[in-house]
Every structure is written in C-alpha cells, then in structure tokens.
Amino acid sequence: MEKDVINILIVDDEKYEGILMEKSVAWESEGFHIMGNVQCAEDALALMEKQTPDIVYTDINMPRIDGLELSRRIRETYPAVHIVIVTGYREFEYAREAIHIGVEEFLLKPIQSDELLAAAVKLREQILKEREQQSKDVEIYPVLCQELLRRIVTGYIKSEEAEEKLSEYQIRLWKNKGVRGALLIMDLEDHDILLKLLEIMNEALGEKNYGYFSLEKNKIFFVVEETPEIKKLLGNAFEQITELGKDGTVATSVSCYYEEIDDSPKILSECEEALVDTMRDERKTLIFYEDYIEYMQQISHSYPVNFDSYRIAVKSGDQEAAVGFIDHYLEQYIFNGPLMISQLRNLGVLLFHNTMSVLKESNKHLDNEEQVKILENISGINTLQEFCRTLYALIEGTIQTISRNAGGNTVAQKAQEYIEQNLDREKLSLNLIASDLFVNASYLSRIFKQSVGESITKYIMRKRVEKSMELFDTTDLKVYEVAAAVGMPDAHYFGTSFKKYTGKTVNEYKSKNRTLSGK
C-alpha cells in the first residue's frame, strides 16, 4: 500500500557514490521510494522543506556543511527523520559523534547493497510503528492542544510546565513574538460553520500561527501570534467571519500584546471586558482592547470624579449611599447646564463598568447576555427618569448578587472581628470601624444592629467589660491597668461602666471572685 512506502533521501557530494546507492538496490520492489539524490547538505535541506523523508543516507565529508552538521540540523528540525551515515572514515570519534547526534546506523564504505537494504529494512519496522501511533495521536491531537491552551490562558499551569508542553505539541506560540487573544461570539452549533471559520483563520494567519479552544456554547477563544500586520490580518479575517455569521450575532474583541506566558490570563480578561462594549453596538463587530481603553478614558476625562465611594457603597451593600452618589453626581455635573442625553448615557457606561468591577472583586459575575442587555438599556436612555430607573435597578441587582449565598452578614462579622482585635484602642468607635472597613457609617450601624441585635456602641462597651472581667479573673493587674488594657484609661469612667453592665462595683466583683476561688 502507498501509505506504507518509506521515502529515502540520499546525500553524497560524490555524484557516482550517490548513484551507486540508488541503483544497487531494487528499492521500489522492496517498498521504498528514492525521493531525492543530491550532492550537498544545502540542497538536502531545501528539498526537505518541500517533502520530509523517512530516512536520510548521508556522507560525512562534504563541502561547507558536512554530514554530521547536516544530521544535527535534521535532528533539530525534523526529529522524526531517521539518519544513516555512510562514510569512508573509520575513526571512532566520528562514530561517537554520530551516536551523540542521534544517528541510527553508521555504515562504512565501500558499501554493499545488502547492507544498504538491511539498514533500511531495520528502520522500516520502527517507522511503520511510529506511523500507526501517529495516526492514533492525530485523532486526539487537536483536543489535547485545545486543552493545553485553555490551561495556559486560564492560569492553571505555570510557565515552566506550559513551555515544556508547548514544545511537546510543537506549538510555537509565545516562542518568538508573543501573542494576543481574540474572543469571538457567534452561532457555532453547525459544525460546518466552525470548519469554515477555521479555514478563514488558516488563510488569514497561517495554520501554525494560532491556536483556539471553546469557552462555552457559541464562544470561542483564539491565541494568535503577534506580527506587525496582526491588526490588519485580524480585521480582514473577522470581516469574512461576520459575513459567515450574518444571520446571527457576531462580536469579537482582541487583547493587547503579551510576550510572557505568565501574562496569558490577562488576554482572556481583557477580551471579556472589551467584548461587552462591542456587543452593545450592532455597528461594531471587532474591537481592540487598546481602543476600548482609549474610549473609556475619554469618557472618564469628561467626568473627573472619583468613583471609589460609589464602589465601596455597592460592595458593602449600602444601596442608599450608592444612589446618593449618583444623585450628587447628577446635581454637580449634569444639572449644571442643559441636559444632554449623551452625557447621561456616558455616565451610565462609567457607572456600569465600576459596578462590574465591584462584582469581579467579590468573585461574582453577570453573564455576557445580562451585561449586554443592561448596556443596551443604557444606550437607549432618552430621559432622566429612564436613567435613574436603569441605574438604580443595576445597583439593587448587584447588591443582591453580592449578598446571595454569603453565609451571613460578612460586614457585621468583620466589624465584630475588628472590635475584638482593637478593644485596647481608646478611640474605638463606629466611624473609625466604618472607615477602616471601607463602608458607610450609617449603613454599618444599621446592618450591625440587624445582625447582632445591639448597637455598635453598646457592643463595644459590653466586650470591654467582659474582657476586663476576664483580666480580673486571670491576672493580678491593678484596676487602672485593666482599664487601660480595654481602652478606658479613665479609671472613674471605667468603674461606672463596669457597675452599669455587671451590677457590681469593681471591688465587689474582685472580692466575690477571690472568695469563689479560695484566695
């Protein structure tokens, strides 16, 4: 069968020696094919770029590039090719070097035809086994490559392991020029569509210059090799892809360029962030992250306000403070002149992205469809009432998402932990705790009382008295020392507070404690 034919390349600067090797054996009848017979290493390498042989017979003594150097280059570039040295040199040093390079056979001239054939027959058995294994590998190779890229991009494997695996699968991405990521959303349920999509990518970028994997239904992520023309090439490719998916949604975002494998998780994050902005505008099908950032900066410069307090309010669940921020913002910037619909929409986009960053910090997220729907609503705002209704609903929904399945009120729990760790601070108060926990004071006061059942002020005093009782029971500290240790250096005030919470003076408590303990 043709698939079992073994291709042989002969390299010898002595033309007649090469002809002798080719004509002295009935190669074709033995299942071999002489694909080339050349007189120098340069011609051999040029021919191998067009067609890869299974076996190379090469002389050692050749001008410019000798047989050992040729073998070394073949081994580096074509590791599956088997090499047979045919030479008149009998020195052991040549044989040892050939073995070190990875040459399988070392034949001495004058060579006999039966020796030539025997070497080829011996290697054929190994080659056919390799072909059988390769045919099995071909079926799973794309899946393995996709899974490898997925693990690299999502940060599941470290750079050292990633580089080793990339080499194993002969993937050259990251090797020379770095990469970009490209995230595409389109209807891919029809397998023929996926095949046509990959044909477009092959034609635009070259089959070896990108890899891909599916993220989820109708979402595919490409890792593409960086080139000076990459933006133009991707633009041309996605014009064709848009035409391919013209009956449905097609949207693509492309990350910045990254050289290091360790930075690869950023390419997916950037694409996901920019993609939402692309999907909200039907006129755009492709956006580069650099352009997206420039767009966001232009909007931000129009409204020079720090959004930190807004993000803190949303993250802490203080809907009243978050809405108050928007109202103040509107009063300061929007109402200070004619009402501009474009201003409201741009402000809505800024608030949306700040809200999404809060979700991300809280390890929560909205799926792309939900985000797109919200942005579509913002893009369609025509009145102040629509703006307020859309953004207030976004705030309420985000706070509910953050608090969902939180396992109790984490803000109140953090406040309790803070108090326990800072009882010795005289100025411990609601405002100090709220400031250090980055939450609104009125919100903290309300949520703490709901969760714990008493105000923060009463909770602090109770904990101070309980701590002082513990110190009286377990140490010999004087009253003023205990008072200072629980953040109440005024001994008189401490004594008054102690009696209020225990019903006893400090001396009465200490006297009773000594009696109970037998002291």
User: Is residue 45 domain-resident?
Assistant: yes
CB 10 within 8 A of CB 22: yes
- Tell me: do 50 and 126 sit in the same domain: yes
User: Is residue 348 domain-resident?
Assistant: yes
Domain span including residue 68 = 2-132
CB 119 within 8 A of CB 105: yes
User: Is residue 10 domain-resident?
Assistant: yes
User: Is residue 138 domain-resident?
Assistant: no
- Tell me: do 276 and 353 sit in the same domain: no
- Tell me: do 7 and 127 sit in the same domain: yes
Per-residue pLDDT of 64-116, as tens digits, reads 888 888 888 888 888 888 988 887 766 556 666 777 777 878 787 777 888 88
pLDDT, residue 253, reads: 86
pLDDT, residue 307, reads: 81
Confidence of residue 43 (pLDDT cuts 50, 70, 90): very high
Of 507, 497, 488, nearest to 427 by C-alpha is 488
- Tell me: do 122 and 24 sit in the same domain: yes
Per-residue pLDDT of 163-190, as tens digits, reads 777 777 667 777 666 889 998 888 777 7
CB 280 within 8 A of CB 247: no
- Tell me: do 391 and 483 sit in the same domain: no
- Tell me: do 165 and 221 sit in the same domain: yes
For the chain, the domain total comes to: 4
Compute the average pLDDT of residues 309-331: 84
Sign of CA dihedral 336, 340, 345, 349: negative
CATH code of the domain in which 242 resides: 3.30.70.270
Per-residue pLDDT of 223-260, as tens digits, reads 888 888 888 888 888 888 877 766 666 778 899 988 88
User: Is residue 184 domain-resident?
Assistant: yes
Three-class DSSP category at 476: coil
Cis peptide before 79 (omega within 30 of 0): no
Say yes or no to pLDDT of 444 above 60: yes
User: Is residue 313 domain-resident?
Assistant: yes
- Tell me: do 9 and 116 sit in the same domain: yes
pLDDT, residue 37, reads: 92
CB 54 within 8 A of CB 81: yes
Residue 313 makes CB contacts below 8 A (sequence gap 6+) with 319, 321, 322, 324, 325, 440, 443
CATH code of the domain in which 507 resides: 1.10.10.60
- Tell me: do 227 and 267 sit in the same domain: yes
- How far is 343 from 303, CA to CA, in rounded Å? 9
DSSP 340-360: -HHHHHHHHHHHHHHHHHHHH
CA 472 and chain centroid, separation = 55
- Tell me: do 127 and 8 sit in the same domain: yes
CATH code of the domain in which 29 resides: 3.40.50.2300
Say yes or no to pLDDT of 326 above 80: yes
User: Is residue 140 domain-resident?
Assistant: no
pLDDT, residue 336, reads: 53
Compute the average pLDDT of residues 319-323: 86
pLDDT, residue 299, reads: 62
Say yes or no to pLDDT of 516 above 50: no
Per-residue pLDDT of 113-154, as tens digits, reads 888 888 888 888 888 887 776 655 445 556 777 888 888 888
- How far is 267 from 155, CA to CA, in rounded Å? 11
User: Is residue 316 domain-resident?
Assistant: yes
Q: Which of 280, 295, 326 is the last residue of a domain?
A: 280
Q: Name the strand (E) or helix (H) holding 89.
A: none
- Tell me: do 355 and 249 sit in the same domain: no
Q: Which of 352, 371, 403 is the last residue of a domain?
A: 403
Q: Which of 377, 403, 429 is the last residue of a domain?
A: 403
pLDDT, residue 319, reads: 84
- Tell me: do 309 and 215 sit in the same domain: no
DSSP 184-219: EE----SHHHHHHHHHHHHHHH-GGGEEEEEEETTE
- How far is 485 from 496, CA to CA, in rounded Å? 16
- Tell me: do 20 and 115 sit in the same domain: yes
What predicted TM-score, i.e. pTM, was given to this entire model?
Answer: 0.45
Residue 457 makes CB contacts below 8 A (sequence gap 6+) with 429, 430
- How far is 69 from 93, CA to CA, in rounded Å? 14
